[in-house]
């Protein structure tokens, strides 16, 4: 099925460890995003990309890094995990076509706990 | 800085009721507004997207309205069903470059009781 695929679905990290959250989409969307959602809160943008080779910071980028070597993949890297990074992480992609209103497709999320 | 607020944070209604969820935003210069549904432990599903030039959008039992001048949007759900129980999030896209970035509200968690 076409869509946005995130792996893993769950992960427990120890403080100071690193990991990469994987995200891939097969809809040929130019735009991709990483959001985090804390309990009872809306989503906050971590990083985004408007195309292969182009990335930029969102609202809460500290402690994270991204890369976009292909249109399909947009991995999120956590370096030196901290308890404040305990959250649910969502990857999303959208059209870059204004006539289609930047319709979003979200992945099912990665639930990360840092202990 | 754009801020999006949703009231109430939680709502419980009996099955069959019509209900309204509210969303307000501080900067009226928006490109569009979207309503999403989020089921527990799941990702977000887009319900309705309203362009800035539109006043409302309808899909089945859902109707979303947009009043840019007052910074408000409402999501109307007719004849609610237990299957409508979920968290509903609204999000706005501003004109901050050609990026498609969204600013989200905190969500309204809806419970429809049989």
Q: Which residue of A has its CA nearest to B10?
A: A40
| The pLDDT value given to residue A102 | 57
- Among B31, B51, B100, the residue with its CB nearest the CB of A94 is B100
Inspect the interface and report whether the beta carbons of B89 and A42 lie closer than 8 Å. Answer: yes
How close does chain B come to A82, measured CA to CA in Å? 22
- Among A96, A102, A107, the residue with its CB nearest the CB of B43 is A107
- Among A31, A40, A58, the residue with its CB nearest the CB of B106 is A40
| The pLDDT value given to residue B113 | 97
| The pLDDT value given to residue A17 | 97
Q: How far is CA B16 from CA B41, B54, B57, in A?
A: 26, 28, 22
Inspect the interface and report whether the beta carbons of A45 and B102 lie closer than 8 Å. Answer: yes
Q: A6, exposed or middle or buried, with CB in 10 Å at 0-12, 13-18, 19+?
A: buried
pLDDT in tens, B88-97: 999 998 776 5
In angstroms, the CA A104 to CA A94 distance is 5
pLDDT in tens, A7-56: 999 999 999 999 999 999 998 898 999 999 998 788 999 999 999 999 99
| The pLDDT value given to residue B86 | 97
Interface check B106 vs A, CB under 8 A = yes
Pick the more confident residue, B31 or A47: A47
pLDDT in tens, A53-97: 999 999 999 999 999 999 999 999 998 999 999 999 999 998 766
Give residues with Cβ within 8 angstroms of A75, minimum separation 6: A20, A21, A22, A23, A66, A67
pLDDT at B10 over 60: yes
Backbone angles phi, psi at B84, to 5 degrees: -80, -10
- A9, B43 in Cβ contact below 8 A? no
């Amino acid at each position: 099925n076409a869509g946005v695929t995130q792996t893993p679905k769950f992960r427990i990290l120890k403080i100071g460890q690193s990991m990469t959250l994987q995200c891939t989409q097969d809809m040929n969307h130019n735009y991709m995003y990483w959001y985090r959602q804390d309990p009872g809160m809306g989503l906050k943008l971590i990083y985004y990309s408007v195309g292969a080779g182009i990335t930029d910071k969102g609202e809460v980028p500290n402690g994270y890094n991204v890369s976009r070597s292909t249109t399909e993949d947009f991995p999120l890297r956590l370096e030196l995990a901290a308890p404040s990074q305990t959250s649910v992480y969502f990857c999303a992609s959208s059209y870059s076509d204004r006539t289609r209103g930047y319709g979003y497709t979200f992945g099912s999320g990665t639930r990360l706990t840092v202990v | 800085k754009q801020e999006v607020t949703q009231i109430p944070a939680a709502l419980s209604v009996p099955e069959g009721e019509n209900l309204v969820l509210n969303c307000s935003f501080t900067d009226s210069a928006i490109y569009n507004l979207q309503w999403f549904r989020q089921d527990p432990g799941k990702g977000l599903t887009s319900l309705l997207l309203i362009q800035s030039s539109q006043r409302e959008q309808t899909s089945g039992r859902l109707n979303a309205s947009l009043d840019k001048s007052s910074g408000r949007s409402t999501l109307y759900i007719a004849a609610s069903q237990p299957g409508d129980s979920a968290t509903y999030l609204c999000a706005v896209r501003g004109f901050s470059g050609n990026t498609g970035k969204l600013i989200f509200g905190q969500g309204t968690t809806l419970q429809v009781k049989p």
